[in-house]
Structure 1
């Protein structure tokens, strides 16, 4: 209940209700982009500073390996379920599977803040794990698609730019490295900007995301009941696996929950950009609706509390 009644979730719900009620409430695109850039920069800096203070540990290495393994394996299981129960063709199944193997930065940021407010903050190095998990699923998804269609690959430079050099990956990784370099003392001069206003700006950003997710649901025309069900089952299953893995390698409750959140989340920024280049024949409306309009709201409102509860039981 504490997680469900946090300001972050309540502002997201407010945005969703406003959209369903057809309110004209909206954020200008430049403001939305500025908020996302600020949040990614702040979370990357904080992660780097925490790692700078604690050093590189065995837990960091284990979490990184676990994250990479999950990012590579989750798309495979997801693909075959989508082909069978979901009744999707190979191209669309592969594109959707890549989204669920990758991660949602916004879901992680919201979860990180909820865990911190609850007194169980995850380790700062999870920012690095997030960055590592962004790309492998894209590669696995393209390999799966190659088995069922004539894969139209654009130039290597274009695909590299949309995956490894994607803006969110660059900003998160770069901010993390800056945090490592400057440490706690170097962070103090800019702390008022990245700490004092963080919670308030996160609430505004989640309000905008609630509006966006609900309006995506209203416009969706290609979602079947089977696919909507899978978009809820996938995060539950993947989040549970993330909890089991985190507990097995000895992570604390907050960090185990963070790994579960990463495993349960679905990308709607980096992977769609890559799929538009590599799989232009895949239905963009389908994979965006599933990841952004179904899985993202589920994780923000219900999933994060569930993964936290499971982590507390397992660790």
Structure 2
């Protein structure tokens, strides 16, 4: 209940409500981008500082391999479920698989903030795990979609390069490396900016995300109730798999829960950009609405508070 009633979650709910009642409340696009830049830089920087203190460990290696394995494998059950149960064609099923195998940076940031507010620490190297999980799933999803056509879409290498150059991932990894080099001593002068202001900036950013998600949900025409149910089921199933793997490889409860949050999230930034380039015949609104307007609100309002409470009980 504490996580569910935290200011960040409530600001997201406020934005969602404002969009659904068609309020004129809005966050200027430039400000929304600035908030996102701050959050990506802050989470990457703090993760790098933590790893500089703990060093590169066997736990980091295991977590990286686990994240990479999840990213490569999760698109397959997502593809099968929306193909068989959601009754989508192969091209659209592959696009959805790319979204649900990849990860949402904002969901991760929100989850880490909730876990830390509940007194559970998340290992800094989870930022590196996040970066590892972004691109492989998108490539697997594209491969699944392109099997539907005898003519392969050109340039998988080009799509991978585009994904790896995605601004959010570049900023996260760059911030992580800066924190790794600077260490605790170098971080201390900027701590008030990147740590003290983090909670307030997250509230404003989630207000904006609530507005965006609500507008997509209000305008969802191609997403059937069956696909809405699958979008929630995939978040729950993938999150449970991530949690079990995190516990099995010996991660602490905070980090195992962070892996569950990553596995249960769905991309709505990098994956849509790659799909738009690689699969122009696919309606981008369908997988984007599933990931942004259904799975993202479900994760923020239900899954993250529930996982935080579960992690607290296990700890």
What is the RMSD of the two structures over their aligned residues, measured on CA atoms?
A: 1.4
Equivalent pair of 1:75/1:97 in contact (CA under 8 Å): yes
Q: TM-score, normalised by structure 2?
A: 0.97
1:50-92 deviation per Cα after TM superposition (whole angstroms, max 9, x unaligned): 0000001111111110000110110011101111001000000
| 1:250 corresponding residue in structure 2 | 250
CA deviation after TM superposition for structure 1 residue 312, in Å = 5.2
CA deviation after TM superposition for structure 1 residue 282, in Å = 1.2
1:183-227 deviation per Cα after TM superposition (whole angstroms, max 9, x unaligned): 010011111211111110100000000011011101111011110
CA deviation after TM superposition for structure 1 residue 308, in Å = 2.9
Q: 1:286 to 1:196 in 2, by over 3 A?
A: same
Matches within 5 A, 1:194-205: 194-205=194-205
| 1:265 corresponding residue in structure 2 | 265
CA distance in 1, matches of 2:311, 2:194: 29
| 2:307 corresponding residue in structure 1 | 307
Equivalent pair of 2:135/2:160 in contact (CA under 8 Å): no
| 1:111 corresponding residue in structure 2 | 111
Identify unmatched segments of 5+ residues in structure 1. none
Equivalent pair of 1:247/1:311 in contact (CA under 8 Å): no
| 1:225 corresponding residue in structure 2 | 225
| 1:189 corresponding residue in structure 2 | 189
Aligned residue for 1:135, secondary structure, equals helix
Q: 1:157 to 1:30 in 2, by over 3 A?
A: farther
Matches within 5 A, 1:89-100: 89-100=89-100
CA deviation after TM superposition for structure 1 residue 287, in Å = 0.7
1:132-169 deviation per Cα after TM superposition (whole angstroms, max 9, x unaligned): 00000011111111221256635567524420111111
Matches within 5 A, 1:1-315: 1-150=1-150, 153-155=153-155, 158-311=158-311
CA distance in 2, matches of 1:151, 1:113: 45
Q: 1:285 to 1:30 in 2, by over 3 A?
A: same
Greater mean alpha carbon deviation, residues 299-308 or residues 231-240: 299-308
Equivalent pair of 1:179/1:187 in contact (CA under 8 Å): yes
CA distance in 2, matches of 1:77, 1:243: 17
Aligned residue for 1:134, secondary structure, equals helix
Equivalent pair of 2:118/2:308 in contact (CA under 8 Å): no
CA distance in 2, matches of 1:151, 1:16: 41
CA distance in 2, matches of 1:89, 1:151: 17
Identify unmatched segments of 5+ residues in structure 2. none
Aligned residue for 2:4, secondary structure, equals coil
